[in-house]
Amino acid sequence: MKFMQRIIIPALLLIHLSAVAQKKPADTLVVKVGQASKVIFAIQDKKDLETLKKYNFQSLLDDMIVKLEKKDTSKLSTPSSVYLKDTTKVETVNELNSNETSSEESEWVRERSGNRGEKSHRNVVVVNNNWNRRNTYHSFNFDIGTNNYLANGNFPDQSNALYSVRPWGSWYVGINSVRRTHVAGPVFLEWAFGVSWYNFKFQEHSTSVVKTDDAVTFVADTRAVEHLKSKLSASYFNFSFVPVVDFGRGRRKTTLFDGSRVDFSSRGNHSSSFRIGAGPYAGYRLTSWSKMLIKDSSGHEQVEKNSNSYFLNNLRYGMRVQFGFDDIDFFVNYDMNELFVTNKGPKLNAISFGVTF
């Protein structure tokens, strides 16, 4: 038996060493600590260097030192995702079985608290897995562009109507709280609510908006003054629901005002970041007013502003088309219902287009 052990054991050891030698040798980095200790990093694949950049090694070392001080030789059971930097947040865990933490993280909290059966009110570091858990993230977006309206498919300036608008100066502005939900593959759902403003700056500076008991009309102001500007404005509270096909699968999405970028490299490496979507929106009118800027014979400028409903429809609804590439998006909004109440004003459908950032 001893003879067999002397033959078999060295043979098995030789086979093991031969298999190890066939593997690609790992690059190693040795960091000396104190007089007799060292930390060794063995990098088998250089692609893992990008992953190393995402870890908070100070937190990992703190936990390791605690275990060594307690002479605990068991492996470090903390979930590796806990040490990801820039994606962690501090939460108060009121109960170990809270829905806000995974079962692996709950086990880690139990070990850290030293009590497996009681509630913990300690502040612990957990990974913000909002995207992984709900497939949704939030941003604030601004729409800035120009607006006009169509009468039977044509712009009013083609018929020289008094309510024709100037594209430059007829600004459309929107502020939106947007949530983007991943549905499947490259399909996302952007649902948002916010406030927008129509500004229709008239081509003719002397155009005046007049409301009677029966209708709203547009007439030329014949006073002996210099007309500098005239416009009709309205604000709306809106809600939109836009499915988006994102060929970059969210790899790059501009969220300028919350400073966040979403990296879904785990979903695949997609060279194209083109995205396009279309969906409905609806809005409710908040305020509306007309404003005219004039200059009298003495050269003094005067602003005449009147707040009125002007028989504008309280409800607006339509379709939104948006498309973008990399860090820029464009939008087109078309109101399917008329701007004014039926038979109370000209038959006009508002249209807006511009950029989103």
Please list the pLDDT of the chain residue by residue as tens digits (357 residues).
Answer: 544 445 444 444 444 445 544 555 667 767 777 777 777 777 777 777 777 777 777 777 777 777 777 776 666 555 666 666 654 444 444 433 444 444 444 444 454 545 444 444 444 444 444 434 458 889 999 999 999 999 989 999 888 899 999 989 999 999 999 999 999 999 999 999 999 999 999 999 999 999 999 999 999 999 999 999 999 999 999 999 999 999 886 554 544 454 444 444 444 444 568 999 999 999 999 999 999 999 999 999 999 999 999 999 999 999 999 999 887 899 999 999 999 999 999 999 999 999 998
Q: Are 327 and 261 in contact (CB under 8 A)?
A: no
pLDDT at residue 24, rounded to an integer: 57
pLDDT at residue 32, rounded to an integer: 73
pLDDT at residue 39, rounded to an integer: 73
Look at the chain and count its residues: 357
∠ CA 343-348-349 to the nearest 5 degrees?
125
Q: Are 164 and 157 in contact (CB under 8 A)?
A: yes
- CA 300 to CA 294: how far, in whole Å? 8
pLDDT at residue 190, rounded to an integer: 96
Closest among 240, 231, 236 to 279, alpha carbons compared: 240
Domain ranges of the chain: 41-128, 133-356
pLDDT at residue 25, rounded to an integer: 63
∠ CA 335-337-340 to the nearest 5 degrees?
105
The answer for residues whose C-beta is within 8 angstroms of residue 199's C-beta and 6 or more apart is 147, 169, 170, 171, 172, 173, 231, 233
3-state secondary structure of 18: helix
DSSP string, 64-132: HHHHHHTT--S---S-GGGGBSSSEEEEE-SSTT-TTS-HHHHHHHHHHHT-SSS----EEEEE--HHH
- CA 76 to CA 99: how far, in whole Å? 24
Q: What is the pTM of this model?
A: 0.61
